[in-house]
Every structure is written in C-alpha cells, then in structure tokens.
Structure 1
C-alpha cells in the first residue's frame, strides 16, 4: 500500500514539473518572437519568422527571411537575418542581411 502511494505522489510531482517546463519553453519562445519581431519589423517589409524553441545555454535564436524595406522592385530577392536574444541581459540584436546568393 505504501509503495502505491509513493508511486502516485512521484507521478504527480513529475507531471507538474513537465507541465511547468513546457510553459517555460512557451514563454521563452514568445519572448524571443516579441523582442526579435520589433527589430525585424524595422528591416523587413514582410518576412517569415522561425524561432528555435530551445536556444543555446545563454541565448535564444530566431531567423527571419523576407523582403527588406531597402530593396526595390517586386522581384527583389528574399534576404535573411538572424536575431540573437541574450537570456541574461534580455536584449536582442540582429545580424546584417545575408547575401541571398551565398546561402545556397
């Protein structure tokens, strides 16, 4: 009987920790989307945003691909940029645009 109670308490504890970790990952991903989108909105007229939901130990990472505001014409190639979010300082920075011809 005592063994069954111990297993039940352990399962409840582990389930709560998994749910908490999942919520933390979602908050982390949402924060990166928000902070990086602010910077990408300044550079792109339209873009697609992809967030690494786990990041690295110290950083969150997002990637955007789309039309730069500085490019002209409907046939302007898509450009790409990376956003790095520092977990400690909670600041985001973006890279310069990658040359689309070098990303083959």
Structure 2
C-alpha cells in the first residue's frame, strides 16, 4: 500500500514542477516578444503599450503595440527570433488589465 502512495506523490511532484517550469517558460517567452516588439516600434510609438498573446501561434509570438493614436501588429518568429511589424493602424488597443484598474 505504501508503494502506490509513494508513486503517486512522486508523480504529482513531477507534474507540479513541470507546470511551474512551463509557466516560467511562457512568461519568459512573453517577455522576449514584448522586448522585441517594443524595440521594433520604438521610433514610431515611443511610449507604447505592448499587449502580448501569451502563447502566440504554432510558429510565431504575436503582439499589438499601441500608442495614443495608433497600433501596430508585431510578429515574432519563435525559431529565428526575428521580429516583423505591420503598418500603423488607426486603432488603439487598451489592455484588459488597464480597463479594470
């Protein structure tokens, strides 16, 4: 009886550690996308807010960089780390956290 309980505890510990590691990896990925997109748009939108899709697509990190009067779509290649941006859109995006606070 003790062996199955020990096995369960070890399994749950491993799952917990993997989840924490995965959460840390996604947070690191989001920070990398934000940094790359902020740098790529700094001249056009100097005091911008960057809203990062927390997971992106299969191949790309995705973000919307918003200034006072315009926003820019930003794409971050997960493999090469290259950043590409679209043109300025006459739309601004307000992050949900800013709307609530």
TM-score (norm 2): 0.83
SS at 2:46's partner residue? strand
Structure 1, residues 42-65: CA drift from partner, whole Å, max 9, x if none?
Answer: 211322211111100000001012
- Partner Cα separation in structure 2 for residue 40 and residue 87 of structure 1: 19
* RMSD over aligned Cα atoms: 1.1
SS at 1:57's partner residue? coil
Report the structure number with the largest CA radius of gyration: 1
SS at 2:71's partner residue? strand
- Name stretches of at least 5 consecutive residues in structure 2 with no aligned partner: 92-101
- Contact (CA 8 Å) 2:55, 2:61: kept in 1 or not? yes
Deviation at 1:11, TM superposition (A): 0.6
Paired residues, what number?
90
SS at 1:44's partner residue? coil
Show the 5 A alignment for 1:1-104. 1-67=2-68, 78-100=69-91
Alignment correspondent of 1:70? none
- Name stretches of at least 5 consecutive residues in structure 1 with no aligned partner: 68-77
Structure 1, residues 5-33: CA drift from partner, whole Å, max 9, x if none?
Answer: 11011011101100110010011001001
TM-score (norm 1): 0.81
